[in-house]
Amino acid sequence: MSKESQTEVVVQPNGADVNPFILNKRCTEHGRVLARHRREVRFRAYGIAALTTAGLFLALLLVTIVSQGSSAFFQTKIQLDIHFDEAVIDRKNSGDPDIWKKANYSKLIHTALKSRFPEAKSRSERKLLYGMISRGATGQLRTALQEDKSLLGKTKSIWLYASSDIDMAEKGKITQDGDETSRRVRDIQFSWIEELRQKGQIETGFNVLFLTAGDSREPELAGIWGSVSGSLLTLFVCILCAFPVGVGAAVYLEEFAAKNKWSDIIEVNLNNLAAVPSIVYGVLGLAVFLGAFNMPRSSAIVGGMTLALLVLPTIVITTRNSLKSVPPSIRDAAIGLGASPIQVLLHHTLPLAMPGIMTGAILSIARALGETAPLLMIGMVAFIADVPRSLSDPATALPVQVYLWADSPELGFAEKTSAAIMVLLGFLIIANALAVYLRRKFEYKW
Amino acid sequence: MTKKTLKKTMDKVESSEGVQSDKAVAQSKKSTKNNKTSQLYVAADAASVDDAKSSSKVVEKEHQVSIAARQLGVYYGEKQAVFDVDLEMYANSVTALIGPSGCGKSTFLRCLNRMNDTIAGCKVTGEVLLDGHNIYERGVDVVLLREKVGMVFQKPNPFPKSIYENVAYGPKLHGLFKNKKDLDEIVERSLVRAGLWEEVKDRLQEPGTSLSGGQQQRLCIARTIAIGPEVVLMDEPCSALDPIATAVIENLIDELKSQYTIVIVTHSMQQAARVSDRTAFFHLGEIVEMGDTEQIFTNPKLKRTQDYITGRFG
């Protein structure tokens, strides 16, 4: 070893050479580096802790919603032998379908129930017995008769919707514990359920009604389709209004407008508008569309236009940002070849900015899908049982439906609320996945 | 330019009037005010007459002024970037603009096809004469102008489209073809002239951005010459390229000058010396010295020029 290198190498007491670049805890000179490393480890730990907490809460949320709401996709039905009594349905033997439609079908059900459980004699027991079947079951009978007219005078065994309480008991949400008078399902009803179960005349199947029906006062008959179609119509109007106007405004501001005092004022206002509480837009929609223009209350068209106001600033801002991210060299190239400003925009800038614009638009529209407050102000919170068929029909939207059901006291609506949230989250996930897909597909790397 | 050469110029103008197109004559007759300036300037520079080995006809063509600046000033808002620049750029020759960063040479270059129009707060005074016609005259359409004056930029900036589409874009904008076959021919001719055809002929549908930096820049040159310009402006076309790609572009410039007027801004003294016929030295928004490249680099008249060229300041 030469003298020069000896001075640089740390020699330990035992004489062995040590690599000076290996951290040594006992070495005082390495203390600062060690402290720096500890700080890095600590910082990373904070990040991981934050992420874990967020993940846990998300998992908790999803587990809660799914465990509460998944049962709403299933429905309890009871099989009864219904005798389509001519005396009840068509006393005068007219054969007129209109008379058939208006017939007293609940009497048929009551008769069937009475013959199925003859032990129910007293008035209160009869009432409990009739309460086993949903009020919507009459509609099932009416449809069955319309589909097959030969049923008149015959007996057929039909699966009828059970009432919400029986549904809850069958799903285990109401149990036979505690004081009988304080629960919705009495002991005698439990005994009937048990008897039906032994005969295989009660079963829980997929709830088609939930996905195809509108809202109802009866939890077992309430469906999500009314609010889903309301939401879709609203979003359709919202996209139709907000996208062209928002992109147009952004393009003008970014590409054509002179940069002066006025454009500064507009820019500041745009940023402020994006942060305005959503209910304020509801008030605006109420005053302008309903008050000034007298447009139909609770309709999808007004809801869509109100939500368009809400998402407009966000669309303008995201569009401007994606236009800004198109490199100026592309513009220069096109201008240098003699393209007019409109040609530069349509041939180059806009197509290149489109993925960003689409992503921004989809995310803001997804936000509009989840908005409740503005819709409350324009009357979309009303109870609407029909599925909206046009833009001016009274409609409600998914988040509003969640709000309405969450507000209902019936136990049956609790699971519907969670199920509606699941549907809403499903739509949001689809929207976000679409945004990510579009960004990945059309993203251009400079 | 000296008075002597100007006088000669005017003489030549009279004699070569027949060379001009009837249209140009008609236009110049319309406005008597522009009559003097809107003639084709044909200057016979005394210095280059000496080394004229070819026939006098070629010399005449070489010294035909293609584009000229007259008292050109550029303001960015309140700040003046270019001061009263007079510069003539000859047809079929390469004019190099050199000078330190921020001296206004790029700004000057961008004035020649009115690219500065797109910059807010940019004001241009004076005149730029393309074939004797002021391009800053009221009513001039920049689309027609840029069909005649193409530009190649510092950073290769092909469109994120196919190689074919890149070259075909200009002809499509200006409607320079009758059918698909015409367009194919234009694309091939332009790529051949830009020296890129052999490398890309089998992959015309691949994106232009998939090429290497030097190829991209040649694609940009092909794109520029596809619309058949008279003048090609190049703003530091090699600054983002390696020496080999630079050499290829420089050879290309040498070939292209037989057909186009080329004005090139460069930071590289060697490049200016290699490719250009005439060189203008810019400093602080003014032309310090202008002359034949050989003279500027071997025997500059001013000390400032010499200092810059030898690297003593800049």
The dihedral built from the CA positions of residue A232, A237, A238 and A244, taken in this order, carries a sign that is positive
Flag if B159 and A339 touch (Cβ within 8 Å): no
- Kindly state whether residue A391 falls inside one of the protein's structural domains: yes
- Residue from A386, A357, A376 nearest A239 by CA: A357
- Rounded to the nearest angstrom, the minimum Cα separation between B173 and chain A is 7
pTM for this predicted structure: 0.78
- State whether A33 and A119 are in the same domain: no
CATH of residue A240's domain is 1.10.3720.10
Alpha carbon of A38 to those of A21, A22, A32, A41, A45: distances in Å? 17, 16, 10, 5, 11
- Rounded to the nearest angstrom, the minimum Cα separation between A336 and chain B is 6
The dihedral built from the CA positions of residue B243, B96, B50 and B258, taken in this order, carries a sign that is positive
Kindly report, residue by residue over B164-216, the tens digit of the pLDDT.
Answer: 999 999 999 988 888 999 999 999 999 998 889 999 989 999 999 899 988 99
- Specify the pLDDT at position A5: 46
- Kindly state whether residue A22 falls inside one of the protein's structural domains: no
Band (pLDDT 50/70/90 cuts) for residue A12 is low
Burial of B249 (0-12, 13-18, 19+ CB in 10 A): buried
Which residues of B are less than 8 Å from A343 in CB distance?
173
**A335: nearest CA in chain B?**
B115
Flag if A327 and B113 touch (Cβ within 8 Å): no
Flag if A327 and B174 touch (Cβ within 8 Å): no
What is the SS3 assignment for chain B?
A: CCHHHHHHHHHHHHHCHHHCCHHHHHHHHHCCCCCCCCCCCECCCHHHHHCCCCCHHHHHHHCEEEEEEEEEEEEECCEEEEEEEEEEEECCCEEEEECCCCCCHHHHHHHCCCHHHHCCCEEEEEEEEECCEECCCCCCCHHHHHHHEEEECCCCCCCCCEHHHHHHHHHHHHCCCCCHHHHHHHHHHHHHHCCCHHHHCCCCCCEHHHCCHHHHHHHHHHHHHCCCCCEEEEECCCCCCCHHHHHHHHHHHHHHCCCCEEEEECCCHHHHHHHCCEEEEEECCEEEEEEEHHHHHHCCCCHHHHHHHCCCCC
- Specify the pLDDT at position A84: 86
- State whether A270 and A354 are in the same domain: yes
Contact (Cβ atoms closer than 8 angstroms) between residue A190 and residue A171: no
- Specify the pLDDT at position B109: 92
Flag if A329 and B146 touch (Cβ within 8 Å): no
Is B10 a residue whose pLDDT tops 80?
A: no
- Kindly state whether residue A6 falls inside one of the protein's structural domains: no
Place of tokens 């420089």: B250
Rg (CA), chain A: 33
- Kindly state whether residue A102 falls inside one of the protein's structural domains: yes
Collect all residues from B whose CB is shorter than 8 A from any CB in A: 113, 115, 118, 120, 142-147, 150-151, 153, 155, 157-160, 169-170, 173-174, 220, 223-224, 227
- State whether A195 and A256 are in the same domain: no
Chain A to chain B, count of Cβ pairs less than 8 Å apart? 58
Kindly report, residue by residue over A249-265, the tens digit of the pLDDT.
Answer: 999 999 888 888 998 99
Q: Using CA atoms, how far apart are residues B307 and A191, in angstroms rounded to an integer?
A: 110
- Specify the pLDDT at position A253: 92
Alpha carbon of A154 to those of A89, A95, A110, A144, A148: distances in Å? 12, 15, 16, 12, 11
Q: Please name the member of B147, B157, B173 whose beta carbon is closest to the beta carbon of A330.
A: B157
SS3 A110: helix
Residue A418: half-sphere exposure toward Cβ, Cα within 13 Å: 17
- Rounded to the nearest angstrom, the minimum Cα separation between B152 and chain A is 8
The residue among A206, A233, A259 that closes a domain is A206
- State whether A284 and A402 are in the same domain: yes
Which residues of A are less than 8 Å from B157 in CB distance?
327, 329-330, 332-333
Q: What is the mean pLDDT of chain A?
A: 88
- Kindly state whether residue A4 falls inside one of the protein's structural domains: no
* Percent of chain A whose pLDDT exceeds 90: 42
Q: Using CA atoms, how far apart are residues A396 and A380, in angstroms rounded to an integer?
A: 5
Alpha carbon of A129 to those of A170, A172, A187, A346: distances in Å? 16, 19, 12, 70
Number of domains within chain A: 3
- State whether A53 and A114 are in the same domain: no
Band (pLDDT 50/70/90 cuts) for residue A10 is low
SS3 A381: coil
Contacts (Cβ under 8 Å, ≥6 apart) of B99:
B105, B281, B282, B283, B288, B308, B314
The dihedral built from the CA positions of residue A129, A134, A139 and A145, taken in this order, carries a sign that is negative
Q: Using CA atoms, how far apart are residues B232 and B230, in angstroms rounded to an integer?
A: 7
- Specify the pLDDT at position A38: 93
- Residue from B67, B121, B82 nearest B233 by CA: B67
| Domain of A63, in residue numbers | 28-69
Pairing verdict, β B122-130 and B133-134? antiparallel
Q: Please name the member of A329, A337, A348 whose beta carbon is closest to the beta carbon of B170.
A: A337
Q: What are phi and psi of A81, to 5 degrees?
A: -90, 105
- State whether A272 and A365 are in the same domain: yes
- Specify the pLDDT at position B51: 43
- State whether A137 and A181 are in the same domain: yes
Which residues of A are less than 8 Å from B174 in CB distance?
338
Which residues sit opposite B207 in a β-bridge?
B162
Residue in A256, A331, A337, A347 to test binding to B, most B beta-carbons within 10 Å: A337
Is B131 a residue whose pLDDT tops 70?
A: yes
Flag if B115 and A332 touch (Cβ within 8 Å): yes
Which of the pair, A411 or A313, is modelled with greater confidence? A313
Kindly report, residue by residue over A293-352, the tens digit of the pLDDT.
Answer: 999 988 999 999 999 999 999 999 999 999 999 998 999 999 999 898 899 999 999 999
Q: What is the mean pLDDT of chain B?
A: 80
- Residue from B160, B102, B108, B111 nearest B134 by CA: B111
- Kindly state whether residue A353 falls inside one of the protein's structural domains: yes
SS3 A82: strand
- State whether A434 and A289 are in the same domain: yes
- Rounded to the nearest angstrom, the minimum Cα separation between B286 and chain A is 25
Is A205 a residue whose pLDDT tops 80?
A: yes
Neighbours of B195 (CB within 10 A): 18
Neighbours of A98 (CB within 10 A): 7
Residue in B154, B173, B176, B235 to test binding to A, most A beta-carbons within 10 Å: B173
Alpha carbon of A81 to those of A166, B253, B296: distances in Å? 19, 96, 111
List domains and CATH numbers for chain B.
91-115+146-309 (3.40.50.300)
Q: Please name the member of A329, A337, A347 whose beta carbon is closest to the beta carbon of B146.
A: A337
- State whether A169 and A143 are in the same domain: yes
Which residues of A are less than 8 Å from B223 in CB distance?
333, 337
Kindly report, residue by residue over B255-293, the tens digit of the pLDDT.
Answer: 898 999 999 999 888 899 999 999 999 988 899 999 999
The residue among A141, A175, A206 that closes a domain is A206
Kindly report, residue by residue over B37-69, the tens digit of the pLDDT.
Answer: 333 333 334 334 444 444 444 444 457 888 999
Mean pLDDT throughout A206-215? 89
Q: Using CA atoms, how far apart are residues A177 and A172, in angstroms rounded to an integer?
A: 11
Kindly report, residue by residue over A92-144, the tens digit of the pLDDT.
Answer: 777 777 788 888 888 889 989 988 888 888 888 888 889 889 988 888 888 88
- State whether A324 and A382 are in the same domain: yes
- Rounded to the nearest angstrom, the minimum Cα separation between A338 and chain B is 5
DSSP per position, A158-214: EEEEBPHHHHHHHTTSS-S-S-GGGSSS-HHHHHHHHHHHHHT-EEEEE-HHHHH--
Contact (Cβ atoms closer than 8 angstroms) between residue A228 and residue A402: no
Is A398 a residue whose pLDDT tops 70?
A: yes
- Kindly state whether residue A10 falls inside one of the protein's structural domains: no
- Specify the pLDDT at position A11: 52
Kindly report, residue by residue over B300-310, the tens digit of the pLDDT.
Answer: 898 888 888 88
SS3 A78: strand
* Percent of chain B whose pLDDT exceeds 70: 80
Is A286 a residue whose pLDDT tops 90?
A: yes
Collect all residues from A whose CB is shorter than 8 A from any CB in B: 258-259, 327, 329-340, 343, 347-348, 352, 444
Flag if B118 and A331 touch (Cβ within 8 Å): yes
Band (pLDDT 50/70/90 cuts) for residue A445 is low
Which residues of A are less than 8 Å from B140 in CB distance?
none
- State whether A35 and A124 are in the same domain: no
**B167: nearest CA in chain A?**
A337
Place of tokens 């590289």: B268
- Specify the pLDDT at position A29: 79
**A348: nearest CA in chain B?**
B159
Burial of A9 (0-12, 13-18, 19+ CB in 10 A): exposed
Q: Using CA atoms, how far apart are residues A284 and A378, in angstroms rounded to an integer?
A: 9
- Rounded to the nearest angstrom, the minimum Cα separation between A298 and chain B is 47
Q: Which two tokens stand for residue A151?
A: 């049923």
- State whether A182 and A300 are in the same domain: no
**A352: nearest CA in chain B?**
B160
Is A218 a residue whose pLDDT tops 50?
A: yes
Q: Which two tokens stand for residue A286?
A: 């109420």
- Specify the pLDDT at position B58: 45
